[in-house]
A and B are shown apart, each in its own frame.
Chain A
Amino acid sequence: MKTNDIILQTVAKVASLVIILFSIYIFFGGHYSPGGGFVGGLLASGAIVLLLLAYDLKTVANMLPVDYKLVVAAGLLISSATVSGALFFDAPLMTHAYQYFELPLLGHTSLHTAVLFDLGVYLVVIGITMTIIQTIGESE
């Protein structure tokens, strides 16, 4: 039976973009409102999964030619670098630093090293979900 996925595919394209934008919003807002790297990462991978459901593995792999194992590695690297970065300032492991800045457009903003750590978490979560889903999906 030949299926007609046009509507699903068109919606998925737009929706996944919106979801990814939302995940980035949620990721940055994490320190003040519900969200953070973990949920953000899950949402982003949810968006990709949506694409997977609408299309197939190959098409999505062409759309987003990313090796998710490297994403895991990059995320772990960023997080562990942030964690150990404190050692260079003679502070215990895991010490974060933050400061308030007046930025153009954004106004009064706090810049926090926790965001960097969370970015690592975000990437790792995307990486692992997609690695698992891709490997299992491909193995048929």
Chain B
Amino acid sequence: MATALETTPVNGGPSDETAALKSVEINKYDFRTDSPAVFKARKGIDAEIVAQISEMKGEPAWMREFRLDAFKIFESKPMPKWGGRLGIDFQDIYYYLKPTEHQGKTWDDVPDAIKETFDRLGIPQAERQFLAGVKAQFESEVVYGSLQEDLAKKGVIFTDTDTAVREHADLLREYFGTVIPPSDNKFAALNSAVWSGGSFIYVPKGVSIEFPLQAYFRINAENMGQFERTLIIVDEGAHVHYVEGCTAPMYSSESLHSAVVEILVKRGGRCRYTTIQNWANNIYNLVTKRAMAYADATMEWIDGNLGSQLTMKYPAVYMMEPGARGEILSIAFASAGQHQDAGAKLVHAAPNTSGRIVSKSISKNGGRASYRGLVKVEPGATGSRSSVVCDALILDEHSRSDTYPYIEIEEQDVSIGHEASVSKIGEEQLFYLMSRGLTEAEASTMIVGGFIEPLVKELPMEYAVEMNKLIQLQMEGSVG
């Protein structure tokens, strides 16, 4: 067991809990289903629906089999008994909509609250329509055409996953479902059975992409979905920063979003995946995100979660070979009626691997933010180092914060540190700022902004600006 452990180790807990930690993340774009349908699978899920989805997409037999097998696993797995309360009726959900349906909706259908938030975030009109699901796609062809060309010249593949099944079948098939097999957890199985959309990225050996790749650079429309499926392969010595989602609130009439994100970073490669998501309050946001980092490779997850009814999301890095590095930075903001059960997972599966988790959560107006994390050192992973810092800020006495740090160490000669702090906005801090002319609300917002600053400064500039605005809106209570 641990030698250099700086904190009391918590046993693995019930095995289904830790197993389920291998689970869960999400997607950002959302459907509306009351638009005129070209094709809409009937409500609910069974093998027939799963086969029908595959058929509608014109998929090869192997993918259809993959889906059907996954569906069996989904049926056989119990719901997770930990995390948050999951009141999901799986038979009351539409699992597939053809993307053409998005065009049926008009701007008038978008709720005023969402429009107002777009206003306040200063999002351009074209982008708003996209975000609200009015347009199936951002004007990416026009704006990003030259970018696509440039990427293609370098051999980079950046497309939606459905297209990749058709056009890059061999490459996709080699890795699809290998990082997160359908058997991983119930929601990974569900996603595997009914997935649609998501990004497929391949960065060839030694290619470094200087600017962040963003989901809406993609040309194809089929990028929205409740069950998005993303696969990123960073080849040896390659480098990519992928940015998913945006800070505008995701509007959806559906209640379940369950995505799977698989990433492989090969020897000496480097991948950063940034997500900021702000869900409407009716959403269950259950996502499985995992990366495998090989020799001297670096994987970084930067993850911001706002809104939703319940989010369960624990981005993971498995450090598979010596010198691999994993870093997970996350921010969760839980307000009234929201439970953010978010965290991170680092698995040291090889010697001299290093990891860092920094988690910041804020709870307000009765919101609940939980940090749930696992650091695991497998036998043989000598010389591994990990540090975990989780800080919670509670804004009022109605709100709640919990920390569930699991640490499993099966090797000597490792260094694992864990620090956790829970603080309330101090009367003294508020008074100090107010004595300089800031109102109480301005002072609280400033303290919260400072609290998350260490993570916000890791974001691309425009995201950092939006994130700060979003926190301001949250603090005013005018959003979600």
A and B together in one complex = no
Chain B contacts to A: CB under 8 angstroms: none
Interface on A for B, CB 8 Å cutoff?
none
